[in-house]
Structure 1
Amino acid sequence: MNSKLRPGINHIEFWVSDLEQSIKFYYSFLSLIGWKKISDLSFSDGMMIIYFIEMKGVEKVRSLGIRHLCFQATEKGQVDQVSQALAILGAEVIRGPKIMPYSKDYYTIDFYDPDGQVIEVAHTPFSNMGS
């Protein structure tokens, strides 16, 4: 077994209607929480990669599957910075930033990306992950 590999998600691929718009949108908040742009169509946090592929003419439909994707903020203030970046972009915020009762000091903002995907950025210092 390769000791450098560990269980986890290797990458996520987003199909988007407008690549330039989506890269600009995601860069506006991912850069605030430690993600780096590693190519014209991808970002990485050093352990995972997110790719964006432009798919013209593909209809977004409501279906079963993943409801949303949550990005970890390492500091509470990053959630507020994300909120400010979203306001500048005119993004539709679902809720937040606000404290939620999921765990002690869970601070979050939920919003829609340009194609209507639900995205969350949360600071979860006392989450029950891994227990």
Structure 2
Amino acid sequence: MNKFSHIDVRVRSLQDALPFYEQLLPALGFNRTFHSRDWRVFAADGELPSAPYFAITEDPEHQPSSHLTGFWAEDRAEVDRLAELVSQAGGHIESGPQLFPISPTYYAVYFEDPCGNKFEIVHRLN
């Protein structure tokens, strides 16, 4: 059973960040939206409330930290494809896509959203 429930992300500006997430999140499988006045919610397949979801809200005072959220990719080609999408959607690639010395097959890209929140997309065999 997958114990993942959701991620809540704060951004300084929905206007700056939402176009990025509208491109990235469906590519990661968060393809249904449940938006409200204060939250933009992108859900994966499944029945709510148990379906995993990614929620975004605006906080003009938000300061990004070194916290990192990682997403799984099925193979290296998906890491490469999603890295290109991140760049085209307005994200900032910090490093990769490449192999990292975490394990012999750890292939990842590290990036930031337009507001500086940190993410990773990774594929590894062991």
> What is the aligned length?
117
Unaligned 5+ segments in structure 1 are: 1-5, 127-131
Q: 1:20 to 1:98 in 2, by over 3 A?
A: same
Structure scoring higher RCO (CA < 8 A, sep ≥ 6) equals: 2
Alignment-derived partner of residue 9 in structure 2: 14
Question: How far off its partner does 1:33 sit?
Answer: 3.1
Structure 1 segments, 4+ long, off by >3 Å, are: none
State, as a whole percentage, how many aligned pairs show the same letter: 23
TM-score calculated relative to the size of structure 1: 0.74
1:58 and 2:53 are equivalent in the alignment: no
1:26 maps to which of 21, 27, 47? 21
TM-score calculated relative to the size of structure 2: 0.76
Deviations 1:53-101 (A, max 9, x none): 112x314165xxx620001112221111112112323432110000113
Unaligned 5+ segments in structure 2 are: 46-50
Q: 1:48 to 1:61 in 2, by over 3 A?
A: closer
1:1-131 pair list within 5 angstroms: 6=1, 8-40=3-35, 41-46=40-45, 47-55=51-59, 57-60=60-63, 62=65, 67-126=67-126
